[in-house]
Amino acid sequence: MKRLHMHISVPDIEQAVAFYNALFGAPPAVVKDDYAKWMLEDPRVNLAISSRVRATGVDHVGIQVDSADELSILATRLKAAGNTTFDQEATTCCYAKSDKSWVTDTAGVRWETFYTMGDATTYGEDEEIQAVAPKAACC
């Protein structure tokens, strides 16, 4: 089953966590000094926030899938639509290990489709994504 993903860059993690806790009526599933993530069932969303020195606001949106096969299907659809994708395998980002396929839609919005295989102890690196698409984040 797929889950909508949104990543928002915030100026202050503690204030943002308090706001989203109140909005969702639930604490985040992951909390770090520079990052928090809610895995909600209603609505079915993976909302991540971070204070990683990017412009504040919506950084990117995406679709999280439950298997590598689902990710392959989504990436194939994007390529068939004529969009250029940037694929990453076994990358570490947002304190998780994932395979990803990135694309920019017709309005310039960055989309991340991804399958997460496990947790990571570090935020990860996103220089490669930024070099290919400066507005993209790693999560």
Calpha distance 121→9 (Å, rounded): 20
Q: Which of 25-29, 53-57, 63-67, 103-107 has the highest mean pLDDT?
A: 25-29
- State pTM to two decimals: 0.76
Strands 96-104 and 86-93: antiparallel
Q: Is the pLDDT of residue 133 over 60?
A: no
